[in-house]
Chain A
């Protein structure tokens, strides 16, 4: 059974770079059917999609965060990672990694598998 697990520091200082990794277990990140994404949720608030990556390295980013976000993939480790630079208190959130389908023409597009999330607090 495929599972996703986020890992990384729970506390980041303002202006520094937030770095998280999502480890995929029970299956291959190199599946041709799926993208791998990051979504965040500030405490008590809603969901915001950050960006997604295909195993080949192709990425999509939320334009509102694009200047600060880098998502990468390491197929040898079955992992993908998120870097968010120049963080502020507004970046404090639970960060989820998730799997989603993305067929550009006549297919499926949904987020079907999520990690449990990891809380990242931005504070000095």
Chain B
């Protein structure tokens, strides 16, 4: 199985300031078709996860452009350019390159200082 790790596990941020979350996979997530199936999900308190980013850097429908994804191979980053109060929650990276199983990172909790 591909193991996903994330750093930091907790990230207190100031409103209006940027935030960055790193995700690393135990193996390259580049599929033989050339795609990298790495996505990011947000889970606000008491809510189900919500898709933010797919294939490293593609924002899903309705996701604000302050969210961006980057990376390649085994190292990926989610950035929030200016954190808003509604961004509080836990962020997960997930790989779908090699399955079963699909695997998630442990999550990074973002809260306001």
Residues of A within 8 A of B (CB): 46-49, 51, 60-64, 96, 98, 100, 102, 105-112, 114-117
Contacts and interface: CB of A to CB of B under 8 A. Distances in A.
| Interface SS of A by simple majority | loop
Contact of B33 (A48, A49, A62, A106): A106
Interface of B: 1, 33-35, 37, 39, 41, 47-51, 54-55, 60, 92, 94, 96-97, 99-107
A111 B35 CA distance: 16
A117 B50 CA distance: 13
A117 B47 CA distance: 8
Contact of A117 (B37, B48, B96, B99): B48
B100 A62 contact: yes
B103 A114 contact: no
Nearest to B37: A109
Contact of A110 (B96, B99, B104, B106): B96
Which 8 interchain pairs have the tightest Cβ spacing? A109-B96, A114-B48, A110-B54, A62-B101, A49-B102, A47-B104, A106-B33, A109-B37
B49 to A, nearest CB: 6
Contacts of B92: 46-47
A46 B60 contact: no
Contacts of A62: 100-101
Contacts of A48: 104
